[in-house]
Structure 1
């Protein structure tokens, strides 16, 4: 049986390059992989202030449609918002959704953010905001800083539009890295927007992989192995 194609979407400040090591491992194992750079995350984008959350959702949907069949959709960090909205819009295109240190976002990540774009903060600021750098080498951090692109402000402050009840039946895995599955389950009741969909999804599996917020760099072999296993059996 041919494995299900995978669509990999990175989080804030990142392009498709962020998934390269995981994608290379998956392709070496015979998987078809599509990596995505969301609008405004191109280094030469002329006007990040004009980019909207709807643009990000459109890009995720377009990547899924390009596969020509239902996909395993893996989204990292802030991409959980457009990822869940894309799953809502086209649930028939998602054989399995994977949230990588992320969650199915149901609200704006920062509704008070008013700037045109959000540059990559300092390492201290990232960690104070709950983004663990565990497992990242100096080389990882240098590459991250060198290649990071300011996040467009629209997707930071805008909330997704969710209308299809069918999204609740999409098989879903949450890869818990900087927070444990126990912590995520406890947080669901607190109503955090970035994991809001976990209160409504009907088929959720949790996988713990203790590391930092960027497991595609700190634990690429384990991330690739999990995604490959899901692609082989997405139901």
Structure 2
């Protein structure tokens, strides 16, 4: 059988370039890896909600599926919100897709509910930004300061409307799902991740078949790209020796 295609979705404030190291490793092992850009990031004017993110992810997966490809959807952080929504009616027993666990819900419009203090909200401009001084604590806990400073220069404004978008479909209920808990992430984020996992696995239906806990910060594609690529290869059915 041919190898599946990875579709890797970045999180808020980032770009597809965050997957470059992992993408290169996967390609050396014979995988196709597609890393599209979310329309809601660095958008002028900002997006009112996550609709275009959902549509972009769905169209990418649909085109690959229609061409006969098996697809593994890899979503990071915010990317799991539109990613999980985008897969409605795309679940097939012959395909394997991996999505972040997000319940069907939304945040109240016009509030900062669920946002960290380091997420600076400009309601008039319609964006949320993260400054260089907050990048390490929010995204890059296990990276050296000089690397953090370089990465922080590439952070982009995120459309605030995405935080108030309502999800109506939870892909993890119907599609085989792997969830990675990054245990060196911010403590509150780890607590939230563990809550999402336990709540999902306690509910029915659910297809959260694999939960991985790894001593890594919020962005393992930067700090541990070899392990991240190996984990994804395992999700694709390979036997991989991991340290």
TM-score range, shorter chain: 0.7 to 0.9
| Larger relative contact order, structure 1 or 2 (CA cutoff 8 Å, min sep 6) | 1
Q: Report the Cα offset of residue 3 of structure 1.
A: 1.1
Higher deviation after alignment, 111-120 or 76-85? 111-120
Conserved 8 A contact 1:13-1:119:
yes
**Do 2:21 and 2:225's aligned partners in 1 also have CA atoms closer than 8 Å?**
yes
Asked if residue 202 in structure 1 is aligned to residue 223 in structure 2, the reply is: no
Which residue matches 2:179? 174
Shift of 1:94: 5.7
- Of 64-73 and 27-36, more deviation after overlay is shown by 64-73
Q: Counterpart in 2 of 1:222?
A: 227
Number of the residue aligned with 2:115: none
C-alpha contact 1:70 1:95 (8 A) present in aligned 2? yes
**Contact 2:181 2:194 (C-alpha < 8 Å) held by counterparts:** no
- Structure 1 match to 2:96: 95
Compute the TM-score of the two structures, normalised by the length of structure 2.
0.76
**CA separation of 1:89/1:120 partners in 2, compared to 1, >3 Å: closer, same or farther?**
farther
Are the equivalent residues in 2 in contact too, given 1:10–1:75 (CA < 8 A)? yes
| Residues in 2 aligned to 1:11 and 1:198: alpha-carbon distance in whole angstroms | 26
For structure 1, the 5+ residue unaligned runs are: none
Task: Give 1:118's aligned residue.
Answer: 128
User: Could you say which residue in structure 2 is the equivalent of 1:77?
Assistant: 77
Counterparts of 1:45-84 in structure 2 under 5 Å?
45-48=43-46, 50-67=47-64, 68=67, 69-84=69-84
Shift of 1:175: 1.0
More helix by share: 1
Partner of 2:3: 3
Over aligned residue pairs, what C-alpha RMSD do you find? 3.0
Q: TM-score, normalized by length of structure 1?
A: 0.79
- Paired with 1:189 and 1:229, the residues of 2 have a C-alpha distance of 20
Q: Deviations over 1:134-157 (max 9, x none)?
A: 321234312322111111111122
- For residues 47 and 183 of structure 1, do their structure 2 counterparts lie closer, same or farther at Cα, with a shift above 3 Å needed? closer
CA contact (8 A) 2:201 2:208 kept: no
User: Using a 3 Å threshold, how does the CA distance of structure 1 residues 137 and 186 change in structure 2: closer, same or farther?
Assistant: closer
User: Which one has a bigger Cα radius of gyration?
Assistant: 2
* Range 68-77 or range 198-207, more displaced: 198-207
